[in-house]
Amino acid sequence: MRTATVTRATAETDISVEINLDGTGAYDNQTGIGFFDHMLDQLSRHSLIDFTIRAKGDLHIDDHHTVEDTGIALGQALTQALGDKRGIRRYDECHLPMDDAQVRCALDLSARPFLVWNVELPTQKIGAFDCELVREFFQAFATHGGITLHIDKLHGFNSHHIVEAAFKAVARALRNAVEIDPRKSDAVPSTKGTL
């Protein structure tokens, strides 16, 4: 089983993350931030990676620390669950439409973290959720998950649709990238021999 459990406790947050890369997309995410939970549910469901996330943060200040630290812990869990990455497909991409929005994601589980974020959102908030925190989540997730992650908005005018399309596009690309390649299940997918 390619699973991991990560806990992260700071003066600002207390977070636990459990994932199963070979799951069915089952999720139980409770961060205290409704919209963020909805996005984490999408990430789990469409990647087929099981998530159980519990986060308690200083929400009386704002949502920033909780969102960022959840991204950190989730990235760390992904890294642990992948181990030496033997047999994975490593790369994938997805063009994801959602109503008015279309978002493209391309990623590489390279252990060389880099985020390219070309996503302009037309509003500063979705309900009470600060839109700038979407980038903060993906930055933390990419950095601690060792992911080269490119996310581009091709078009869209509704912030909720754009953000949800981004999470779903990442999920679909991640689903294929973590899968075992039956043609090369015994090898690390790199000419270097390691990732």
Give the pTM: 0.98
Mean pLDDT across 124-128: 97
Given a cut of 90, whether residue 155 has pLDDT beyond it is yes
Whole-angstrom CA distances from 44 to 48, 49, 148 are 6, 5, 19
Nearest CA among 131, 130, 116, 192 for reference residue 162: 131
Tell me if 144 sits within 8 A of 137, measured CB to CB. Answer: no
For residue range 30-85, list pLDDT tens digits in order.
999 999 999 999 999 999 999 999 999 999 999 999 999 999 999 999 999 999 99
